[in-house]
Amino acid sequence: MNDALGEVEIAISSGKGRFEAYCLKADLLIELRQFEEAMQVLDYLRTKFGFVKEDIQLGLRCKLYIRTGEWRQAEITWRSIRNKNAEVATAMLRQIYELKTTDHTISLVERKKAQDELALLDPDLRDLSDFYSADEPEE
């Protein structure tokens, strides 16, 4: 992965595809668990490119928070993502709920609620909930 990081640095210095290169750099740094450096890149992206492809920037920031176990920050960031139906957004939400279910600083009720929300993200269970809601009489 360090080789990939070197290639990204070359892409950044070339001046072509800089936004994408910085995004890739942030992603690689997260994977390498270099969280401070990743946050610096994400902050640079926000400063340099503003709200360009905001969901990508938010997704990377959310991923960083998930990897550092900061589910509260991840959840706040996730709520700002516009395309919540994207597969990657659903995967991040699932990871947030997984972290929440193991956080003993919150109440058992909150952990149980996170567990229930996590179960609802299971595609098989979603299909069942659609089935059951079809049985309910319409008003």
The DSSP code sequence of the chain is -HHHHHHHHHHHHHTSSHHHHHHHHHHHHHHTT-HHHHHHHHHHHHHHHTTTTHHHHHHHHHHHHHHTT-HHHHHHHHHH-S-TTSHHHHHHHHHHHHHHHT-TTS-HHHHHHHHHHHHHTSHHHHHHHHHHHHHSPP-
- Could you read off the pLDDT of 22-54 as tens digits, one per residue? 999 999 999 999 999 999 999 999 999 998 999
Mean pLDDT of 61-77: 97
pLDDT grade for 65, boundaries at 50, 70 and 90:
very high
- Could you read off the pLDDT of 90-103 as tens digits, one per residue? 999 999 999 999 99
